[in-house]
Amino acid sequence: MGLATIAKEPNSIEKPQRQNSKFKHLMLLHWMMASLLILLYLTGVYVAHPPQANFTKWLSPFLHQSIGTLFLLMLVARIFLLLRVIGSKYSRRLPNVTPTWLKTTALHTVLYLLMLIVPLTGFFLRNCQGLHTTFFGISVPSVLAANDNWAGSMRSAHFGVSYMFLVFIGLHLLMHWKFVRSRLRRFFPVSKKAYLPAEIAAITTKPVAEPLAQNNSRE
Protein backbone atom coordinates (compact mmCIF):
# COMPACT_ATOMS: atom_id res chain seq x y z
CA MET A 1 0.00 0.00 0.00
CA GLY A 2 1.50 3.32 -1.09
CA LEU A 3 1.67 6.58 0.83
CA ALA A 4 -0.78 8.20 -1.57
CA THR A 5 -3.38 5.55 -0.81
CA ILE A 6 -2.91 5.97 2.94
CA ALA A 7 -3.20 9.74 2.65
CA LYS A 8 -6.53 9.44 0.82
CA GLU A 9 -8.14 7.04 3.29
CA PRO A 10 -8.93 9.57 6.09
CA ASN A 11 -10.80 11.82 3.63
CA SER A 12 -12.79 8.90 2.25
CA ILE A 13 -13.83 7.96 5.79
CA GLU A 14 -14.57 11.43 7.14
CA LYS A 15 -16.90 12.46 4.31
CA PRO A 16 -19.48 9.67 4.85
CA GLN A 17 -19.34 10.40 8.59
CA ARG A 18 -20.24 14.04 7.98
CA GLN A 19 -23.08 13.01 5.67
CA ASN A 20 -24.35 10.48 8.20
CA SER A 21 -24.25 13.15 10.89
CA LYS A 22 -26.39 15.50 8.77
CA PHE A 23 -28.81 12.69 7.99
CA LYS A 24 -29.08 11.75 11.68
CA HIS A 25 -29.87 15.36 12.58
CA LEU A 26 -32.48 15.40 9.82
CA MET A 27 -34.07 12.22 11.16
CA LEU A 28 -34.02 13.64 14.69
CA LEU A 29 -35.95 16.68 13.47
CA HIS A 30 -38.30 14.37 11.59
CA TRP A 31 -39.34 12.42 14.68
CA MET A 32 -39.46 15.49 16.92
CA MET A 33 -41.79 17.22 14.46
CA ALA A 34 -43.88 14.05 14.15
CA SER A 35 -44.35 14.12 17.94
CA LEU A 36 -45.31 17.80 17.79
CA LEU A 37 -47.86 17.02 15.07
CA ILE A 38 -49.62 14.56 17.36
CA LEU A 39 -49.81 17.21 20.07
CA LEU A 40 -51.02 19.82 17.56
CA TYR A 41 -53.90 17.66 16.39
CA LEU A 42 -54.84 16.69 19.95
CA THR A 43 -54.86 20.29 21.18
CA GLY A 44 -56.57 21.36 17.95
CA VAL A 45 -59.57 19.20 18.83
CA TYR A 46 -59.94 21.03 22.15
CA VAL A 47 -59.50 24.41 20.45
CA ALA A 48 -62.26 23.60 17.94
CA HIS A 49 -64.49 22.18 20.69
CA PRO A 50 -63.60 24.04 23.91
CA PRO A 51 -64.23 22.11 27.14
CA GLN A 52 -66.25 23.53 30.00
CA ALA A 53 -63.32 23.72 32.43
CA ASN A 54 -61.82 27.23 32.46
CA PHE A 55 -58.23 26.05 32.90
CA THR A 56 -58.40 23.55 30.02
CA LYS A 57 -60.23 26.12 27.90
CA TRP A 58 -57.28 28.50 28.36
CA LEU A 59 -54.54 25.88 28.20
CA SER A 60 -55.55 24.29 24.88
CA PRO A 61 -55.16 27.42 22.70
CA PHE A 62 -51.98 28.37 24.58
CA LEU A 63 -50.36 25.01 23.87
CA HIS A 64 -51.73 24.81 20.32
CA GLN A 65 -50.29 28.16 19.20
CA SER A 66 -47.01 27.67 21.10
CA ILE A 67 -46.41 24.19 19.67
CA GLY A 68 -47.47 25.43 16.23
CA THR A 69 -44.88 28.22 16.37
CA LEU A 70 -42.22 25.77 17.53
CA PHE A 71 -43.19 23.44 14.69
CA LEU A 72 -42.76 26.26 12.17
CA LEU A 73 -39.32 27.18 13.54
CA MET A 74 -38.21 23.55 13.40
CA LEU A 75 -39.50 23.32 9.83
CA VAL A 76 -37.23 26.20 8.79
CA ALA A 77 -34.25 24.42 10.38
CA ARG A 78 -35.27 21.14 8.74
CA ILE A 79 -35.50 22.69 5.26
CA PHE A 80 -32.09 24.30 5.70
CA LEU A 81 -30.57 20.97 6.79
CA LEU A 82 -32.36 19.10 3.99
CA LEU A 83 -30.91 21.44 1.37
CA ARG A 84 -27.43 20.77 2.77
CA VAL A 85 -28.00 17.01 2.61
CA ILE A 86 -29.29 17.23 -0.97
CA GLY A 87 -26.35 19.45 -1.94
CA SER A 88 -23.88 16.94 -0.51
CA LYS A 89 -25.61 13.97 -2.11
CA TYR A 90 -25.98 15.40 -5.62
CA SER A 91 -22.91 17.63 -5.77
CA ARG A 92 -21.04 15.25 -8.07
CA ARG A 93 -23.82 13.44 -9.89
CA LEU A 94 -27.46 14.12 -10.66
CA PRO A 95 -30.19 11.82 -9.30
CA ASN A 96 -31.39 8.88 -11.35
CA VAL A 97 -34.81 10.16 -12.42
CA THR A 98 -37.22 7.22 -12.34
CA PRO A 99 -41.01 7.06 -11.88
CA THR A 100 -40.45 5.96 -8.26
CA TRP A 101 -38.08 8.88 -7.64
CA LEU A 102 -40.55 11.34 -9.18
CA LYS A 103 -43.44 9.96 -7.10
CA THR A 104 -41.43 10.12 -3.87
CA THR A 105 -40.12 13.61 -4.61
CA ALA A 106 -43.60 14.91 -5.48
CA LEU A 107 -45.11 13.46 -2.29
CA HIS A 108 -42.39 14.91 -0.06
CA THR A 109 -42.66 18.30 -1.78
CA VAL A 110 -46.41 18.41 -1.07
CA LEU A 111 -45.77 17.32 2.54
CA TYR A 112 -43.30 20.16 3.09
CA LEU A 113 -45.71 22.67 1.54
CA LEU A 114 -48.51 21.48 3.82
CA MET A 115 -46.20 21.59 6.86
CA LEU A 116 -45.67 25.26 6.01
CA ILE A 117 -49.25 26.17 5.12
CA VAL A 118 -50.97 24.56 8.12
CA PRO A 119 -49.25 26.61 10.87
CA LEU A 120 -49.25 29.79 8.75
CA THR A 121 -53.02 29.65 8.19
CA GLY A 122 -53.47 29.14 11.93
CA PHE A 123 -51.27 32.16 12.63
CA PHE A 124 -53.15 34.29 10.08
CA LEU A 125 -56.46 33.11 11.56
CA ARG A 126 -55.57 34.52 14.97
CA ASN A 127 -54.44 37.77 13.34
CA CYS A 128 -57.76 38.15 11.53
CA GLN A 129 -59.64 37.37 14.75
CA GLY A 130 -57.76 40.18 16.48
CA LEU A 131 -55.96 37.74 18.81
CA HIS A 132 -52.26 37.75 19.61
CA THR A 133 -50.18 34.64 19.07
CA THR A 134 -47.86 33.70 21.92
CA PHE A 135 -44.87 31.40 21.91
CA PHE A 136 -44.85 29.99 25.46
CA GLY A 137 -45.66 33.42 26.84
CA ILE A 138 -43.66 35.46 24.30
CA SER A 139 -45.92 37.61 22.11
CA VAL A 140 -45.48 37.15 18.35
CA PRO A 141 -46.20 40.33 16.31
CA SER A 142 -49.25 40.19 14.05
CA VAL A 143 -48.84 40.70 10.31
CA LEU A 144 -52.54 41.04 9.40
CA ALA A 145 -55.19 43.41 10.75
CA ALA A 146 -58.37 42.11 12.34
CA ASN A 147 -60.96 41.30 9.69
CA ASP A 148 -64.09 39.21 10.23
CA ASN A 149 -64.48 38.30 6.56
CA TRP A 150 -60.89 37.10 6.27
CA ALA A 151 -61.22 35.28 9.59
CA GLY A 152 -63.90 32.99 8.15
CA SER A 153 -61.80 32.27 5.07
CA MET A 154 -58.70 31.58 7.13
CA ARG A 155 -60.62 29.29 9.44
CA SER A 156 -61.90 27.24 6.49
CA ALA A 157 -58.40 27.15 4.97
CA HIS A 158 -56.77 26.08 8.25
CA PHE A 159 -59.23 23.24 8.84
CA GLY A 160 -59.27 22.13 5.19
CA VAL A 161 -55.48 22.04 4.83
CA SER A 162 -55.14 20.26 8.17
CA TYR A 163 -57.40 17.42 7.00
CA MET A 164 -55.59 17.30 3.66
CA PHE A 165 -52.32 17.03 5.56
CA LEU A 166 -53.64 13.96 7.39
CA VAL A 167 -54.40 12.30 4.06
CA PHE A 168 -50.88 12.89 2.78
CA ILE A 169 -49.41 11.67 6.07
CA GLY A 170 -51.33 8.44 5.50
CA LEU A 171 -49.88 8.15 1.98
CA HIS A 172 -46.42 8.80 3.41
CA LEU A 173 -46.88 5.98 5.95
CA LEU A 174 -48.06 3.60 3.23
CA MET A 175 -44.99 4.34 1.10
CA HIS A 176 -42.71 3.58 4.05
CA TRP A 177 -44.83 0.81 5.57
CA LYS A 178 -41.98 -1.69 5.73
CA PHE A 179 -39.90 0.74 7.78
CA VAL A 180 -42.85 1.65 10.01
CA ARG A 181 -43.68 -2.04 10.57
CA SER A 182 -40.08 -2.82 11.52
CA ARG A 183 -40.13 0.04 14.04
CA LEU A 184 -43.46 -1.10 15.48
CA ARG A 185 -42.15 -4.63 15.91
CA ARG A 186 -39.31 -3.26 17.99
CA PHE A 187 -41.76 -1.81 20.50
CA PHE A 188 -44.46 -4.49 20.13
CA PRO A 189 -42.71 -7.80 19.35
CA VAL A 190 -45.10 -10.44 18.01
CA SER A 191 -44.24 -14.07 17.41
CA LYS A 192 -44.31 -15.13 13.77
CA LYS A 193 -46.48 -18.10 14.75
CA ALA A 194 -49.27 -15.71 15.65
CA TYR A 195 -49.70 -14.98 11.92
CA LEU A 196 -49.89 -18.71 10.97
CA PRO A 197 -53.14 -20.72 10.77
CA ALA A 198 -53.75 -23.14 13.63
CA GLU A 199 -53.06 -26.25 11.49
CA ILE A 200 -49.68 -24.95 10.27
CA ALA A 201 -48.75 -23.70 13.74
CA ALA A 202 -49.50 -27.14 15.18
CA ILE A 203 -47.26 -28.81 12.59
CA THR A 204 -44.39 -26.39 13.14
CA THR A 205 -44.60 -26.73 16.92
CA LYS A 206 -44.74 -30.56 16.93
CA PRO A 207 -41.62 -32.04 18.57
CA VAL A 208 -39.15 -33.63 16.17
CA ALA A 209 -37.82 -36.07 18.76
CA GLU A 210 -41.12 -38.02 18.97
CA PRO A 211 -40.93 -39.80 15.55
CA LEU A 212 -37.28 -40.59 16.16
CA ALA A 213 -38.12 -42.24 19.49
CA GLN A 214 -40.81 -44.38 17.83
CA ASN A 215 -38.40 -45.60 15.16
CA ASN A 216 -35.82 -46.54 17.78
CA SER A 217 -38.38 -48.54 19.77
CA ARG A 218 -39.37 -50.54 16.69
CA GLU A 219 -35.80 -51.49 16.01
Q: Are 70 and 36 in contact (CB under 8 A)?
A: yes
Q: What is the pLDDT of residue 198?
A: 47
* CB burial of residue 82 (10 Å; 0-12, 13-18, 19+): middle
Q: Are 57 and 37 in contact (CB under 8 A)?
A: no
Residue 21: other Cβ atoms inside 10 A: 10
- pLDDT digit of tens for each residue in the chain (219 aa)? 443 433 344 444 444 444 568 788 888 999 999 999 999 999 999 888 887 777 777 888 999 999 999 999 999 999 999 998 888 887 778 888 889 889 889 999 999 999 999 999 999 999 999 998 999 999 999 999 999 989 999 999 999 999 999 999 998 888 777 766 666 666 666 554 444 444 444 444 445 445 445 555 555
Domain residue ranges of the chain, discontinuous segments joined by +: 3-92+99-191
Beta bridge partners of 140: 133
Q: What is the pLDDT of residue 41?
A: 94
Q: Are 126 and 132 in contact (CB under 8 A)?
A: yes
Task: Please give the Cα distance from 158 to 153 (Å, whole number).
Answer: 9
Q: What is the pLDDT of residue 184?
A: 61
pTM for this model (two decimals): 0.71
Q: What is the pLDDT of residue 68?
A: 96
* Beta-sheet pairing, 133-135 with 138-140: antiparallel
Residue 24: other Cβ atoms inside 10 A: 10
* CB burial of residue 85 (10 Å; 0-12, 13-18, 19+): middle
Q: Which CATH number, 3.40.190.10, 1.10.560.10, 3.30.230.20, 1.20.950.20, labels domain 3-92+99-191? A: 1.20.950.20
Q: What is the pLDDT of residue 216?
A: 52
Q: What is the pLDDT of residue 203?
A: 46
